[in-house]
Structure 1
Amino acid sequence: MRALLAAALALPAAPALGQDITVREIGSFHIGGGITTVSGLPTREIIFSPGSPPFRYDPNGDFQAGQMYVQYVRLANSLARFPLLLVHGGGLTGVTWEPTPDGRPGWQMAFLRAGHDVSVSDAVERGRAGWSRFPEIFKGEPVFRTMGEGWQLFRVGPADGWARDPQARRAYPGTRFPIAAWDQFTKQSVPRWVTTDAKIQAAYDAYIDRVCPCLVIVHSQGGNFMFRAALRAPDKIRAIIAIEPSGAPDPARDDAARVKDIPHLMVWGDFLGENALWQRIKPVIDRWAAAIREKGGTVEELSLPDCIRGNSHMLMMDDNTDQIAALIQEWIAAKGLMR
């Protein structure tokens, strides 16, 4: 990784990632899931719109559940050998990869400009994937992230630095997250369940089967799902770039040899030592990386604090996000994944 770190120091704050693009096709689809039947619930009268007559609503019947949503953009002249999948983290949606909360182009555009066909997905239970009844279909109730929890969990600032009044908030010194746009960012938050991992994994597996071979950039919770998708179908994934993954397979149960031919890049931001949860998470990822290396695979780590200070967990939204995307693109090219 020394070459990437040296490149980071040499790059300007916002390097151009390619030129203007010509789009061949924009489309979308839902994938995964199946029909689930709900029964035994009472009917009731509801009014759909003010002034409309009452309607007898029967919540029982057949429902589609467990599907995910994918939007793809295909270039007229792709420079990459395989499409690129952008996979979001927990309590978030594919908006993670679209324009940043303060209005700059996001990684969807950055990697389109770098020559990739790009797909952005909303996992099961998120965004345009849709919800299902709970607790009848999604067991339990959803978890909602508070603005203050995100402030410290995403390492923008310490827990005691959160305040409802923006003027009273305290961020980490040198943070690169655009803190004036924090309130705008938190509008992206969506509910998440702690009981739907099997449904999410099944949909991601179906997604990989449909669109790959491919490259994958994953963030946070999405890392564990794509690590497992690679274990199931190692011939389908050509590289995994994991942006601060929050979980990984267990080498005691999962055979890392299955993914030894898939190059991995782990990217880490700053302030990890300031957060107790992230201090517990990173050894889990390091253990999986070590297991892959032990089986003869390649796992490289880009630790941004070694050359760039201040990046948060949401480093694809930080003020140097183009610089980080350029480093990732350099790694992709070095692996022979461009034409």
Structure 2
Amino acid sequence: MKDFDKQHMKIAEISSFFAGGKRVTLTDQPQKHVQVARNGPARLVDLNGDYVTRQCYVQHVRLAASDYETPVMFWHGGAMTGVTWETTPDGRPGWQMRFLQAGFDTYVCDAVERGRSGWSPFPEIYDTAPIFRTSNEAWELFRFGAPDGYSNNPNECRPHQGSLFPISALDHFSAQFVPRWTTHGQETLEAYFDVLKRTGPVWLIAHSQGGNFALDAAARHPEFFKGVVVIEPASAPEDIGAAKLVPHLFVWGDYIEHSPTWVSYRERADAYATALANAGGFVETLDLPANGIPGNSHVPMMDVNSDHVADLVQGWIDRIR
């Protein structure tokens, strides 16, 4: 990608919007006297009324002179938000900045019930409780190291040999986690479709759970995508639908054989990619260790070689656009 050049990367606009969502009216809720303002008196809070729920937040950065007609859109993974793409846990520029530097306008999304999209009352609107991610789970699931290599002191953690994740920033990474609901998949897809109706076609880069959504979205509405890059999708849908009309790039990191979960997810994603290819779709797989780039975790956009992986993704876009 281009070296950072403030003269080249002039930003014309930073904006945001919400898409999707619906109004829900609650009645028969309790009224409470609550000290809402610190150091202020308690006041009556009436929880009855109208709520907007199941919306998606989108941040848009538009360059003064972009080099690409089609923007890049980023979807994050489970228990995470658009922070995934903004800055790495150890403080380096994230992929949003790298693709802006390369000349793309960008959209970064927070999915339904994540981050700035906000939450709704439970159990009055959300009918199930959220689940939460621990650092311990992330250590194993994101393939930073074996379970017995985890310590609540990052300086004492023992990662996989050759791991490229910045282990010293593990707590900064874990600080990103937010509650997630496991029953909002359809609502999330509907909100994403509303986003895409507003933006028009994009190059989509999606991670983990977001990668699963991306595969489903391309199968249902290929007209929204110039191409789809799925970074380690968490499994894959069974039906390829019309996805053969959209170029796909699957990106995989290292240490998958150490995780039964990821062995299973990859098997399903590989089967999906094979079905796409057999149907006449354009599909490529970037297996980083198989291509001489060992050590990447489940979050290559945060690993110390994140710029290199971004270069490879941009190279794929340049080849097929």
The RMSD of aligned alpha carbons is: 1.3
Using the TM superposition, name which of 17-26 and 265-274 deviates more: 17-26
State the Cα distance separating 1:231 from its structure 2 match. Answer: 2.2
State the Cα distance separating 1:72 from its structure 2 match. Answer: 0.7
Distance 1:160 1:142 in 2: 27
Counterpart of 1:262 in structure 2 is 246
Counterpart of 1:300 in structure 2 is 284
Q: Does 1:321 align with 2:306?
A: yes
CA offsets, 1:139-168, max 9 Å, x none?
211111011100110011111211112232
Q: Does 1:149 align with 2:137?
A: yes
Counterpart of 1:309 in structure 2 is 294
Give the secondary structure class of the aligned counterpart of 1:217.
strand
Using the TM superposition, name which of 56-65 and 317-326 deviates more: 56-65
State the Cα distance separating 1:49 from its structure 2 match. Answer: 2.6
Which amino acid is 1:333 matched to?
Answer: D
CA offsets, 1:83-123, max 9 Å, x none?
11011111000010011111111100110111110111111
Counterpart of 2:28 in structure 1 is 40
Distance 1:51 1:28 in 2: 33
**Contact residue 72 and residue 202 of structure 2 kept, 8 A:** yes
CA offsets, 1:303-334, max 9 Å, x none?
00111110000110100000010111111000
Distance 1:229 1:209 in 2: 12
Counterpart of 1:276 in structure 2 is 260
Give the secondary structure class of the aligned counterpart of 1:188.
coil
Distance 2:217 2:154 in 1: 40
TM-score (norm 1): 0.91
Counterpart of 2:100 in structure 1 is 112
CA offsets, 1:205-226, max 9 Å, x none?
1111111211100000001212
**Contact residue 17 and residue 111 of structure 1 kept, 8 A:** no
Distance 1:266 1:298 in 2: 11
Counterpart of 2:65 in structure 1 is 77
State the Cα distance separating 1:81 from its structure 2 match. Answer: 2.3
Counterpart of 1:5 in structure 2 is none
Counterpart of 1:61 in structure 2 is 49
Counterpart of 2:191 in structure 1 is 203
**Contact residue 236 and residue 265 of structure 2 kept, 8 A:** no
- Greater relative contact order, per chain length (Cα 8 Å cut-off, separation 6+): 1
Counterpart of 1:8 in structure 2 is none
**Contact residue 18 and residue 115 of structure 1 kept, 8 A:** no
Which amino acid is 2:156 matched to?
Answer: A
Counterpart of 1:159 in structure 2 is 147
Distance 1:298 1:227 in 2: 14
Distance 2:71 2:153 in 1: 43
**Contact residue 220 and residue 243 of structure 2 kept, 8 A:** no
Give the secondary structure class of the aligned counterpart of 1:63.
strand
User: When the two structures are aligned, how many residues end up with a matched partner?
Assistant: 318
Give the secondary structure class of the aligned counterpart of 1:313.
coil
Distance 1:271 1:17 in 2: 31
Which amino acid is 2:271 matched to?
Answer: R
Distance 1:198 1:222 in 2: 13
Superposed, 1:214-225 pairs within 5 Å as: 214-225=202-213
Structure 1, gaps ≥5 residues long: 1-14
State the Cα distance separating 1:18 from its structure 2 match. Answer: 6.6
State the Cα distance separating 1:17 from its structure 2 match. Answer: 5.3
Identical-residue share of aligned pairs (%): 45
Distance 1:19 1:312 in 2: 30
**Contact residue 17 and residue 110 of structure 1 kept, 8 A:** no
Structure 2, gaps ≥5 residues long: none
TM-score (norm 2): 0.96
Distance 2:39 2:5 in 1: 53
Give the secondary structure class of the aligned counterpart of 1:316.
coil
